[in-house]
């Protein structure tokens, strides 16, 4: 193998070497070529040695046992810069003295030289460092004849400066590479083409948790077997390794999932020489678990923010609480994985009531409704988290219920607005689980949106209710004003009519008396009858006004006493029948029916109902009055079997529980749009064409019946007419 010459050495050495020196090795002063008996073969071998020595790139010197220089070559002279005067001495000690001036450690060189000459059988190989930085490799061996006679020592000097520098650089680079490898955050492994582990760093061993006895085997197969139990998918991992070893030209990068949750980024590339020779494969492993967790967390946060943003949009537009609840439970499912959830709100009594839920049985809701970890007056209460319902003492009584429902963990998240508790959101999980702080913060963010939306919706509902109430009050006030004006007009008209009749009759009688001094009997009777009729009418109108005043003041009262309602009905019917010849009033009633009622007020009800029946049946026709009683079930058999049951005595004796009075006509009926208002004050169902009275009769009837503890209803049969039904307690 040829070695590069040391750059720059030849110019200085050549200057020190005499130009006329022969090209052959320098002799020791005498010709040692055999004479006489010498042969051509010996001369040839000597010439061959001298040619080889001169052609050598190494410096060669041969020294005899007596210290003379037997021979040396030009390269030796060049390497050590020997001048002519030293060469001419042919002495080892002179040459050695010259060399000692050039070596970095003269004493070491002298000691080694002396040692070798004292020990002629020693063969040594070493290095010599010169002061000018060059490094010589030194080889020294004894020179012996074939018969073993020691003749001296040969020395060979090779300039290895460049090689040494290259080796030093290589060692430096290797050390640097090893330091970098050990300092790297990546696990590094280099595997030879035959499967031997060439190198690895400590990070690789730590990442894969490979035992020392395994890694020291240097077997890649053993290392693969040691890590297989750490892999989430060992088959896929090993298949990829086998593939890459089978395809040495390919590089690869992928990610590896481990059973403990870690994730490694794996990169592999072939190791090739400049000529393309494949030496093996290098593997880099980087633990990217934190990066992937951060990315996953970032994605989760982005998704959560998107869900919260969408929730805020939904609840901002929601007009109903149900829509808010549904959106909230959907958001909790999407962000926190709560497959089951519920929303409970405090009712006016401070009790938590279920308003919306997902995945909860009726049994569970019934058992847990009204239960809360906070009191209704709690100010800004904190969330209550139950990672494992089995270990929570306060829930010991519900363990069977949780087991049936499949609940392992709970979270109580309060719905709070300005510190005021509105309700709570419940999260249910199938198995025990922790509640990280970021999840709790997110749940509270969602519930704050929900609580604000609930409060906003409730406020809106209150505003709408107040607005509607204000509008209703305004309409009622306007209606009351219109009714008052209409009432005043009607009252003035109604009062004016009898007054006009009274005044007219009185003026006619007075004029007649002034003219004749007397009144004919027939005229007197008509005048008295007119005065009596109009006075009664006027009195009825005044009484209605007084009753209205008492009703508005809450002073209309009844005076109950045992009354034969059947007799009262017959009397009222007779009075009404006397006012009309176009109608026939029929009565269906028991002979006697005793009840605790205010007779005068009940008679007033009957009079008003009959007056309406006559008024709104302009074509005449029948008017039916029906009186019936309700008795206890236990008495019905006795009534049916009593011989007196036909005349009503049995009913009277049985103490009825209620009395039902019905007045039906076959007249105009009531238009459907007017029926809801028929009992309103001043209301006229048929307009001016049939207006007579002030529209107070039915309102007063309802007030009297309700003061008795009863009710009055109107029915308009399809056949026509109107039927009023008043039901009163009998006692």
Residue 410 to residues 307, 388, 438, 448, 599: CA-CA distances in angstroms?
22, 8, 16, 19, 67
Spans in the chain with pLDDT lower than 50: 1-33, 37, 635, 637-646, 652, 691
State CA 578 to chain mean position distance: 83
Q: How far apart are CA 4 and CA 161, in angstroms?
A: 9
Contacts of 494 (CB under 8 A, 6+ apart): 541, 692, 693, 694
Of the candidates 290, 236, 288, 239, the residue with the CA atom closest to the CA atom of residue 265: 288
Half-sphere exposure for 20 (CA within 13 Å, toward CB): 1
Q: How far apart are CA 576 and CA 567, in angstroms?
A: 14
Looking at the DSSP bridge assignments, the partners of residue 63 are 69, 153
User: Residue 638 in contact with residue 602, Cβ under 8 Å?
Assistant: no
| Torsion 692-698-704-708 (CA) sign | positive
444: alpha, beta or left? (left if phi > 0; alpha if psi -120 to 50) = alpha
Q: How far apart are CA 424 and CA 7, in angstroms?
A: 89
Which stretches within 195-354 are classed as H helix?
202-208, 212-215, 220-227, 234-246, 289-317, 321-336
Two tokens, residue 283: 């593997």
Query: What is the CB neighbour count within 10 angstroms for residue 220?
Result: 22
Query: What stretch of H or E contains 623?
Result: strand 621-630
Q: What is the pLDDT of residues 307-319, one digit of tens each?
A: 777 777 777 777 7
Q: How far apart are CA 150 and CA 158, in angstroms?
A: 25
pLDDT at 126: 92
pLDDT at 694: 65
User: Residue 684 in contact with residue 698, Cβ under 8 Å?
Assistant: no
pLDDT at 38: 53
pLDDT at 501: 67
Of the candidates 260, 269, 258, the residue with the CA atom closest to the CA atom of residue 236: 258
> For residue 330, with 0-12 CB atoms within 10 Å meaning exposed, 13-18 middle and 19 or more buried, which class applies?
middle
Q: How far apart are CA 662 and CA 3, in angstroms?
A: 139
Query: What stretch of H or E contains 42?
Result: helix 40-55
Q: How far apart are CA 388 and CA 371, in angstroms?
A: 18
Radius of gyration, CA atoms only, the chain: 64
Q: How far apart are CA 416 and CA 691, in angstroms?
A: 60
| Torsion 176-179-185-188 (CA) sign | positive
Q: How far apart are CA 262 and CA 227, in angstroms?
A: 13
């Amino acid at each position: 193998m040829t070695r590069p010459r040391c750059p720059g050495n030849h110019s200085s050495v050549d200057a020190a070497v005499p130009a006329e020196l022969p090209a052959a090795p320098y002799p020791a002063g005498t010709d040692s070529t055999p004479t006489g008996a010498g042969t051509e073969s010996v001369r040839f071998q000597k010439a061959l040695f001298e040619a080889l020595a001169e052609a050598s790139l190494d410096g060669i010197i041969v020294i005899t046992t007596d210290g003379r220089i037997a021979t040396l070559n030009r390269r030796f002279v060049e390497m050590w810069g020997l001048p002519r005067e030293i060469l001419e001495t042919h002495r080892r000690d002179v040459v050695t003295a010259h060399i000692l001036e050039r070596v970095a450690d003269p004493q070491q060189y002298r000691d080694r030289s002396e040692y070798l000459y004292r020990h002629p059988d020693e063969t040594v190989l070493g290095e010599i460092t010169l002061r000018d930085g060059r490094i010589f490799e030194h080889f020294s061996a004894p020179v012996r004849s074939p018969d073993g006679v020691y003749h001296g020592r040969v020395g060979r000097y090779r300039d290895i400066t460049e090689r040494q520098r290259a080796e030093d650089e290589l060692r430096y680079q290797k050390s640097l590479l090893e330091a970098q490898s050990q300092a790297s955050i990546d696990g590094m492994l280099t595997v030879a083409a035959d499967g031997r582990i060439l190198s690895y760093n400590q990070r690789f061993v730590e990442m894969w948790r490979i035992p020392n006895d395994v890694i020291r085997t240097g077997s890649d197969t053993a290392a693969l077997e040691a890590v297989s139990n750490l892999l989430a998918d060992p088959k896929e991992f090993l298949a990829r390794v086998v593939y890459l070893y089978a395809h040495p030209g390919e590089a690869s990068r992928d990610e590896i999932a481990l059973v403990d949750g870690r994730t490694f980024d794996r990169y592999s590339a072939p190791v090739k020489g400049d000529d393309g020779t494949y030496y093996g494969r290098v593997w880099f492993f980087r633990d990217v678990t934190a990066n992937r967790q951060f990315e996953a967390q970032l994605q989760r946060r982005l998704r959560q923010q998107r869900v919260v943003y969408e929730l805020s949009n939904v609840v901002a537009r929601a007009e109903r609480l149900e829509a808010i609840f549904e959106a909230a439970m959907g958001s909790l499912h999407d962000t926190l994985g709560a497959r089951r959830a519920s929303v409970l709100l405090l009712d006016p009594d401070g009790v938590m009531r279920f308003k919306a839920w997902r995945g909860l049985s009726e049994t569970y809701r019934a058992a847990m409704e009204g239960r809360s970890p906070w009191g209704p007056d709690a100010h800004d209460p904190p969330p209550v988290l139950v990672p494992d319902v089995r270990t929570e003492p306060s829930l010991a009584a519900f363990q069977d219920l949780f087991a049936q429902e499949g609940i392992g963990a709970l979270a109580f998240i309060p719905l709070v607005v300005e510190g005021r508790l509105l309700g709570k959101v419940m999260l249910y999980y199938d198995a025990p689980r922790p509640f990280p702080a970021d999840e709790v913060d997110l749940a509270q963010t969602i519930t704050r949106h929900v609580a604000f939306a609930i409060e906003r919706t409730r406020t809106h509902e209150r505003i709408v209710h107040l607005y509607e109430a204000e509008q209703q009050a305004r309409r009622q006030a306007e209606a009351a004003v219109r009714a008052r004006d209409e009432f005043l007009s009607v009252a003035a008209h109604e009062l004016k009519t009898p007054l006009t009749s009274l005044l007219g009759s009185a003026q006619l009688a007075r004029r007649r008396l002034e003219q004749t001094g007397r009144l004919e009997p027939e005229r007197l009777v008509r005048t008295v009858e007119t005065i009596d009729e109009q006075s009664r009418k006027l009195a009825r109108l005044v009484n209605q006004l007084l009753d209205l005043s008492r009703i508005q003041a809450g002073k209309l009262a009844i005076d109950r006493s045992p009354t034969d309602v059947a007799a009262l009905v017959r009397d009222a019917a007779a009075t009404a029948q006397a006012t009309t010849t176009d109608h026939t009033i029929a009565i269906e009633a028991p002979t006697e029916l005793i009840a605790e009622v205010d007779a005068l007020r009940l008679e007033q009800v009957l009079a008003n109902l009959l007056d309406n029946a006559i008024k709104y049946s302009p074509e005449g026709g029948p008017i039916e009055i029906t009186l019936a009683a309700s008795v206890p079930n236990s008495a019905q058999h006795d009534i049916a079997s009593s011989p007196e049951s036909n005349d009503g005595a049995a009913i009277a004796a049985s103490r009825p529980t209620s009395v039902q009075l019905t007045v039906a006509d076959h007249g105009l009926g009531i238009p459907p749009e007017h029926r809801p208002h028929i009992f309103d004050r001043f209301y006229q169902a048929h307009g001016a064409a049939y207006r007579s009275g002030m529209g107070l009769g039915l309102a007063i009837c309802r007030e009297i019946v309700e003061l008795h503890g009863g009710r009055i209803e109107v029915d308009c049969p399809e056949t026509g007419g109107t039927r009023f039904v008043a039901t009163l307690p009998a006692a």
